Amino acid sequence: QVQLVESGGGSAEAGGSLRLSCKTSPFATSSFCLSWFRLPPGKKREGVAAIGRDGETVYTESVKGRFAISKDGDTWEPTLYLQMNDLRPEDTAMYYCAVRLYCVTPDTSPDRYTYWGRGTQVTVSS
């Protein structure tokens, strides 16, 4: 059973930084893509960033240059990170990590991701 557990959320002032982590259980394959999504209050879920099997990354336009996605640890049981800098009030949301198995090229389409964490709240004040 694949499990994902997020941590690192909290409150920050505009311009501040937070680092999210997502600990995974072992995967059945070394080919997978990991992604961060967020659900802002009253809005639709959106993809934030994703990282592919070989480290290729993609970002939604609004976070480019401010957020950085990365992974480390065991190939089959990595930890996913999201370094968030220069935070803005519009970054306030519940953040989720998700995994898509048997994947090489990353994308941020939520329908393609099978397993999800329960989320961690990020609140940015102005």
Helix (H) or strand (E) run with residue 2 in it: none
Per-residue confidence at 1, pLDDT binned at 50, 70, 90? confident
Q: What is the pLDDT of residues 41-100, one digit of tens each?
A: 999 999 999 999 999 999 999 999 999 999 998 888 999 999 999 999 999 999 999 999
Q: What is the pLDDT of residues 13-24, one digit of tens each?
A: 999 999 999 999
**Would you list the DSSP string of 10-24?**
EEEETT--EEEEEEE
What is the DSSP-derived secondary structure letter of residue 26?
Answer: P
